Structure 1
Amino acid sequence: MPPAAAALLRCAPAVPFAARSSAVSRSGMARRLVAASAAAGRLAPAYRGLLLDAGGTLLQVARPVAETYASIGRRYGVTKTKKRIMEGFKRAFSAPWPKTLRYQGDGRPFWRIVVAEATDCTDGDYFEEVYQYYAHGDAWRLPTGADAALRELKDAGVKLAVVSNFDTRLRKLLKDLNVSEMFDAIVVSSEVGYEKPSPEIFNIALDQIGVEASKAIHVGDDETADMAGANATGLECWLWGKDVTTFSEIQERILTTDGPQ
């Protein structure tokens, strides 16, 4: 038992157990014991700030992309298999983008190319239906335990930020999933004019949460955009799916006495 809780117990009046239980309940001492135990056992965070990638890390698609493209596409004559749709999607998504920003404004120019390459369908109505599908929170989900882990980190004093290469739909998606209010900063590439791996986008987030790079950690799923970009900024980075696989693990690794304070 933590010393603080033990000290409170020593100060409790010597009365029969049943009477003591009743008195504790009435007086609220039970709540004070729990609070004292929690305070005594709380560990100092290893990092003062947590930066999170959105798509592929904090935000996961509710169902596979190829399945969505195919099911919506049936009404528009899309006949490609889900395997071939996914191959086209990956090919288009990873291709070099000739413009300064991949996601400009609402991101439609980029996503039109991706959808057309994935499905061989250039029907404007089809594209708009796919685009609008991903503009709502129902199309996305948070990883298991993410909400609880983020709240624990925030309660421990860790500053939270989203740093994402995304279009202007992101803020609504975070709101739909009831997590936007937890973040001290939401930095979106289409809004600030920089995309990861550019150090500028990370520095904007660090400035907004008031934490130095050496005292923050970034978590993302891309070795170039997230890992290389964060490292170039002086940030340590954990790759989602490799270095960490759950938000509970992120929470546990941050809420430790080891690491920068």
Structure 2
Amino acid sequence: MPATLMRCPLLLGRQPVTALRHSFSSSRMRRVRKAAGGGGQGPPPAYGGLLLDAGGTLLQLAQPVAETYATLGRPYGVMKSEKYIMEGFKRAFSAPWPKTLRYQGDGRPFWRIVVAEATDCTNSNYFEEVYQYYAHGDAWRLPGGAYRTLRDLKDAGVKLAVVSNFDTRLRKLLKDLNVSHMFDAIVVSSEVGYEKPAPEIFKIALDQIGVEARNAVHVGDDETADKAGANAIGLKCWLWGEDVKKFSEIQHQIVAKGSR
């Protein structure tokens, strides 16, 4: 019950409490539906499906990776500057990977190389501490407005999917951040055996949500893995940080443009 009503009993006398509850509930639902453009009112959204990249798009780091590597590494003798660590981190990611997938299962083989290249430290205990740090939701955050956008798009009938090059920690991270239940499909490269930009990973996601490529849009932060990969199967892609910079913009592009 709204606090104003609890403070003012005279208002309660004007109509039954059950009626007030129904009124406020209905009013709230109308506002949500109006914001989302759904609920059976107005034209359908511009797209019936939204695919989202995880790391770098839906999941943002709570603090810079170089800062984390340096802080956790000090007890293990890591004295490299954050600039040095970041350069090594980028080198590890840009180097050719001899296997089919970077992220196989829990991704530890690949991440051991990344941590060692970035810090020059091969201590197993240090690696495990870094690995476990990123296995918890506290290490990540959602962009502003992400949760509300997902909720409103879902209410509007848009099918939602995560499509990510990630290891088996991803499902727990999405649960920790209280968004896993929002998605109709969560497609992780280490589980399905394909990594973006492979067309198969996008097709798996579209099949799982039951939406055709021409009626969906993908949002990710990588020109090759996300944009080129999605476009190759006729799936439109908006680059995070360029085409869209806020989740409210994603919602506007999907809902507002559907009303034109």
Q: State the distance in 2 between where 1:181 and 1:37 align.
A: 22
Question: Counterpart of 1:147?
Answer: 147
Moved more, 75-84 or 39-48: 39-48
Q: State the distance in 2 between where 1:40 and 1:218 align.
A: 24
- Does 1:241 find its partner at 2:233? no
- Structure 1 residue 234: Cα displacement: 1.1
Amino acid at match of 2:58: L
Question: Counterpart of 2:67?
Answer: 67
Equivalent residues in 2 for 1:179-258, closer than 5 Å: 179-258=179-258
- Structure 1 residue 233: Cα displacement: 1.4
- Does 1:125 find its partner at 2:125? yes
Q: State the distance in 1 between where 2:65 and 2:33 align.
A: 45
Q: State the distance in 1 between where 2:259 and 2:199 align.
A: 23
Question: Counterpart of 2:113?
Answer: 113
Amino acid at match of 2:88: G
- Structure 1 residue 248: Cα displacement: 0.9
- Does 1:168 find its partner at 2:160? no
Amino acid at match of 2:115: V
Question: Counterpart of 1:135?
Answer: 135
Q: State the distance in 2 between where 1:120 and 1:48 align.
A: 47
Question: Counterpart of 2:47?
Answer: 47
Question: Counterpart of 2:92?
Answer: 92
SS at match of 2:161: strand
Question: Counterpart of 1:104?
Answer: 104
Question: Counterpart of 1:76?
Answer: 76
Kindly indicate whether the alpha-carbon contact (under 8 Å) linking 1:24 and 1:30 is maintained by their aligned counterparts in 2: no
Question: Counterpart of 1:8?
Answer: none
- Does 1:56 find its partner at 2:56? yes
Aligned residues: percent identity? 74
Note closer, same or farther for the CA distance 1:118–1:249 as it changes in structure 2 (3 Å cut): same
Moved more, 63-72 or 27-36: 27-36
Amino acid at match of 1:133: Y
Q: State the distance in 1 between where 2:34 and 2:147 align.
A: 24
Bigger CA radius of gyration = 1
Q: State the distance in 2 between where 1:220 and 1:131 align.
A: 24
- Structure 1 residue 259: Cα displacement: 8.2
Query: Structure 2 regions of 5+ residues with no counterpart?
Result: 1-9
Kindly indicate whether the alpha-carbon contact (under 8 Å) linking 2:33 and 2:155 is maintained by their aligned counterparts in 1: no
Normalised to the residue count of structure 2, the TM-score between the two structures is 0.87
Amino acid at match of 2:94: S
Q: State the distance in 2 between where 1:34 and 1:169 align.
A: 36
- Does 1:177 find its partner at 2:177? yes
Query: Structure 1 regions of 5+ residues with no counterpart?
Result: 1-17
Q: State the distance in 2 between where 1:204 and 1:98 align.
A: 24
Note closer, same or farther for the CA distance 1:225–1:79 as it changes in structure 2 (3 Å cut): same
CA deviation map 1:15-48 (0-9, x unaligned): xxx99x9359774584556656766783521110
Q: State the distance in 1 between where 2:67 and 2:193 align.
A: 32
CA deviation map 1:179-230 (0-9, x unaligned): 0011000000000000000000000000000000000000000000000000
Aligned length: 242
- Structure 1 residue 154: Cα displacement: 0.4
